[in-house]
Amino acid sequence: MKKIWVIAPFIEIENIKNRNRFQYIANELSKEKNYEVHLFTSDYVHLEKRYCNEKIKNDYLYNVHLIHEIGYKKNISIKRAISHISFALNLRKKIKDLEKPDLIYCAYPMMTSAFFMENYAKKNKIPFILDIQDTWPESISAGINTDNYIVKMLMYPFTLYANTIYRKADLIIGVSETYAERGRVKNCKSKEFISVYIGAEGNKFDNIVVKDLKGSKDEIWITYIGTLSHSYDIMTAIKAFDLLKENSNIKLQILGEGPELEILKEEAKNLKLLDKTIFFRGMLPYEEMISYLKNSDVALNAIKSSSLGTITNKFGDYVSAGLPILNCCSSQEVLNLIQSKKLGLNYISKNPESLKEKILEILKAKEKLGEYSENCKKFAKEKFDRKESYKIIFEKINEKLVKN
């Protein structure tokens, strides 16, 4: 029986529905009789800054190993770096007592655990697949409020560190073309750089009963889901809705929480828009979130131009719901998709007037709105259905196991 280790520190392990990419991969692999699958993740819930219940590891088909880390309160902090190092050190202790695997499938980031596991794989001649979820340190440096030149100087050693990790991987997969191509560094061992969007199992919205949430048929909902933090351009949306005061039937629904929540709410309150045309719904249960999306007319992909985000979870949710997208993410990959696939319209980040114009433009022609919606559904089926899109991942795993 072939042993496969999946290393994924940032899983929300208490969510047992396998929505996470690595849970899904581990679950599908464990269905094969000739595979013994072990998933290693943190005992710290990074989003909520708390520890998970140890008993959860008994709820899975595969073997779950909860690795302790010391935890942290701020996402950009020295304490977080120390916490990640503690995860890698405790992971190192844990695997000493285990029989060596036949393949390692590892998430990136964390940098520390990926670096350690890669060296372990090389020493023991084990195939190592790196799955890039985010481009550290670049995405971290984008969130630091200081001069770009200084940031680049401070981050340069970490960039070299990242390049070392990319260079040693036997195969590189990324959640977008941009991320997969970031792994293409000089003297890279991998000869393939494959993009596989995060996706979902089929159309995750099909079997959910959708409630009618609108106050009246005249209401038009523009909806954002996700974290409210420095990477996301929600303040521009609030200012754009101030410019749209005369269009009181157009509502902005904001679903999510984060460090900038109170700042954003205060701005909406000062502009006398809070609970009138702008609504903060908080972090909703999944089924309720889907109801909001299915009641919406347009989705807002509000990502600052300074962010290195590309094809995010929210992008997948938007297209799966068949929502035309208003996008300000400056990733060339996303800009091209919006335009070439006709999924919606692009607007300029940090420019309320630009967003206002695009809102009025996208709502002007209902026929065009319907075309965008159908294009989104088609795109979701092509690129976000895991039953199809993840086949390449399992093919490559099998290929590496046969060669080993």
Model confidence pLDDT, tens digit, residues 308-341:
789 988 899 999 999 999 999 999 999 999 999 9
Strand duo 103-108 + 128-132: pairing: parallel
pLDDT at res. 143: 57
pLDDT tens, position by position, 44-91: 998 889 999 999 988 998 999 999 999 999 887 899 999 999 999 999
From residue 109, how far is each of 84, 133, 323 by CA, in Å? Answer: 10, 7, 30
Q: How confident is the model at residue 115 (pLDDT cuts 50, 70, 90)?
A: very high
Closest to 205 in 3D by CA, of 311, 296, 340: 296
Summarize the confidence of residues 383-403 as an average pLDDT.
93
Q: Which residues contact 157 (CB under 8 A, 6 or more apart)?
A: none
Query: Over 90: is that where the pLDDT of 262 sits?
Result: yes
The mean predicted confidence, pLDDT, of the chain is 92
Q: How confident is the model at residue 136 (pLDDT cuts 50, 70, 90)?
A: confident
Summarize the confidence of residues 96-123 as an average pLDDT.
97
For residues 359 and 344, is the Cβ–Cβ distance under 8 A? no
pLDDT at res. 142: 58
Closest to 257 in 3D by CA, of 302, 226, 230: 226
Structure tokens at 222: 């523009």
Angle at 235 between CA 350 and CA 212, to 5 degrees: 120
Asked if the bond preceding 109 is cis, omega within 30° of 0, the reply is: yes
Q: How far apart are CA 348 and CA 398, in angstroms?
A: 44
Domains annotated for the chain, with CATH where assigned, are 2-201+386-403 (3.40.50.2000), 220-383 (3.40.50.2000)
pLDDT at res. 138: 77
pLDDT at res. 148: 63
pTM over 0.75: yes
pLDDT at res. 206: 72
